Amino acid sequence: MLCQHCSESATVSIGTEAKGIPHGTVVTLQVYPEFPVDPTTVNLTTQVTLTGILELSTATATFTFPFGFSRGFVRASW
């Protein structure tokens, strides 16, 4: 998940798909802006819950990417 050319802050939907991860699992999306607006906030986080079956579960999060380059990671623990 990269936002390389965000010329302004933009709210987008981020779809997540998982295989072999149980439905009901909370997925954490972490975004690290290259130039944080607030130096104490270097990690922007949102969480969503997977729905579906073990073979295929999905979740959609709405997230506001900050201006500029950002790098994102998805993490799930169950």
pLDDT at 56: 96
CB distance 14 to 1 below 8 Å: yes
Of residues 23 and 33, the one with the higher pLDDT is 23
CB distance 4 to 56 below 8 Å: no
Chain centroid offset of residue 77 CA: 15
What distance in Å separates the CA atoms of residue 25 and residue 16, rounded to the nearest whole number? 12
pLDDT at 17: 94
pLDDT at 57: 96
Single-letter code of the amino acid located at 38: D
- The model's pTM is 0.72
